[in-house]
Amino acid sequence: MPSKLISIGELLIDFVGTKGIGLNQPFLYEKHPGGAPANVAYCVAKLGAQSVLLTKLGQDDFGDYLVDVLKTGGVDVRYIKRTTEGNTSLAFVTVHEDGERDFTFVRNPAADLLLDKKDIDSTLFKKYDFLHFGSVNLVPSPSKKAHLFAIKLARKNRVTISFDPNIRFNLWPDQALLKKTVMEFIPLAELIKVSSEELTFLTDDPDEASAVKKLFLGFVRFVAVTKGKDGVTFYTKRGSISIPASTTHVVDTTGAGDAFLGGLLFRLMKKSNLSDDAEVYRDDLIFANKVAGYVVARKGAMSAMPSMADLK
Which range among 74-78, 101-105, 226-230 shows the weakest confidence by mean pLDDT? 101-105
Exposure string for 185-205, b = 16+ CB within 10 A, e = fewer: bbebbbbbbbbbebbebbbee
pLDDT at 250: 86
Within a domain: 130: yes
More confident residue, 227 or 1: 227
Tell me the pLDDT tens digit for each residue of 19-63. Answer: 665 555 667 888 889 999 999 999 999 999 999 999 999 999 999
Kindly indicate the confidence band of residue 201, based on its pLDDT and cuts at 50, 70 and 90: very high
Q: Does some domain include residue 150?
A: yes
Q: Is residue 211 part of a domain?
A: yes
Q: Other CB atoms closer than 10 Å to residue 169's CB: what's the count? A: 10
The angle formed by the CA atoms of residues 56, 58 and 64, to the nearest 5 degrees, is 95
Give the residue with greater pLDDT, 151 vs 92.
151
pLDDT at 248: 76
Sheet containing 25-34, strands listed edge to edge, beginning at the edge strand earlier in sequence: 25-34, 12-21, 90-95, 101-106
Of 218 and 168, the structure prediction assigns the larger pLDDT to 218
Please indicate, yes or no, if residue 312 is contained in any of the structural domains: no
Confidence of residue 251 (pLDDT cuts 50, 70, 90): confident
Distance, C-alpha 265 to centroid of its chain:
11
Considering only CA atoms, which of 233, 161, 176, 223 is closest in space to residue 7? 161
Is 311 a member of any domain? no
Q: In this structure, is residue 53 part of a structural domain?
A: yes
SS3 148: helix
Domain annotation covers residue 255: yes
Q: Is residue 51 part of a domain?
A: yes
**Most confident of the ranges 1-5, 13-17, 117-121:** 117-121
Of the candidates 194, 303, 211, the residue with the CA atom closest to the CA atom of residue 255: 303
CA angle 18/22/27 to nearest 5° reads 35
Can you say whether the dihedral through the CA atoms of 162, 231, 227, 37 is positive or negative? negative
- Structural domain harbouring 162: 4-306
For position 98, what pLDDT does the model report?
A: 61
Specify the pLDDT at position 253: 81
Rounded Cα distance between 269 and 114, Å, is: 29
> What mean pLDDT value characterizes the chain?
93
CATH number, domain containing residue 152: 3.40.1190.20
> What domain count does the chain have?
1
